[in-house]
Amino acid sequence: MANKISIKDLSVTYSGHFAIQNINLDIKEKSITAFIGPSGCGKSSLLRSINRMNDTIQDCETNGEIFIDGVDIYHEKVDPVLLRLKVGMVFQKPIPFPKSIYENIAFGPKIHGMYKNKAEIDEIVEKCLRKVALWDDVKDRLKDKGTSLSGGQQQRLCIARTIAIKPDIILMDEPCSALDPIATIKIEELMQELKKNYTIVIVTHSMQQAARVSDKTAFFYMGHLVEHGETKQVFESPIHKQTQDYISGKVG
């Protein structure tokens, strides 16, 4: 399986203070990679680097390289707006647009001219809602506000909105932390389905979730990548004592 993302000597600082330092990491296509580690270890800073969301943060500086399909996304000729079409993001708290369920999905394709007529946009909306197993729940209430849905349904709506613009990569920053256990299971099942077509990177505080859903796990500590490997290996026979201590609950 080919590398979708290659991170080379990446460092991110906020007002001169390192969030992550000298990260080297390859992420395979059509797989799920989990970033784990204590709060403040740099997981989300690295995740936001992959679609250049850090560009929007004042006093944030990024050094190093990230290649997606062999293209350096920090090259001056790369348009961050077009990059974010390719690299979608799902946030910790589901934030539907203050629009109808239909318009939440249709908004991105409309803005980017990804359809020719209403029939095509209708098809995109239905297809995306079916992909996130939401269509049967909402097909008779597409004009209702996205905010009228339950928390778990709102998060699936946000994922549907993300895939509507046909990204290759989906970044997920603690996508289940605001959800109940049943909704969490549905999102995890959805991730397994989505990885057939997308490369997924997830930041999670839940080691159980990382163990359940991911193919590879990367453990971060104090801004450094300590260990990266097959999830089973990282959890059952970690190479580094720091990883072992975190997984066993001694630190974190």
Residue 92 lies in a domain: yes
202-252 pLDDT, tens digit per residue, is: 999 999 999 999 999 999 999 999 999 999 999 999 999 999 999 998 776
Nearest to 191, CA basis, from 68, 31, 69, 37? 31
Look up the pTM and report it. Answer: 0.93
Residue 10 lies in a domain: yes
pLDDT attached to residue 249: 87
pLDDT attached to residue 186: 92
What Å distances lie between residue 142 and 103, 129, 146, 154, CA to CA? 8, 10, 9, 13
pLDDT level of residue 3 (50, 70, 90 thresholds): very high
CATH number of the domain where residue 55 is located: 3.40.50.300
Domain region containing 29: 3-247
> How many folded domains does the chain comprise?
1
Residue 173 lies in a domain: yes
How many other C-beta atoms are found inside a 10 Å radius of the C-beta of residue 103?
18
Residue 127 lies in a domain: yes
Residue 101 lies in a domain: yes
Residue 100 lies in a domain: yes
Residue 252 lies in a domain: no
163-180 pLDDT, tens digit per residue, is: 999 999 999 999 999 899
pLDDT level of residue 49 (50, 70, 90 thresholds): very high
pLDDT attached to residue 178: 87
pLDDT attached to residue 252: 62
Residue 1 has pLDDT above 80, yes or no: no
Instruction: Confirm if 15 and 8 have CB atoms less than 8 A apart.
Output: no
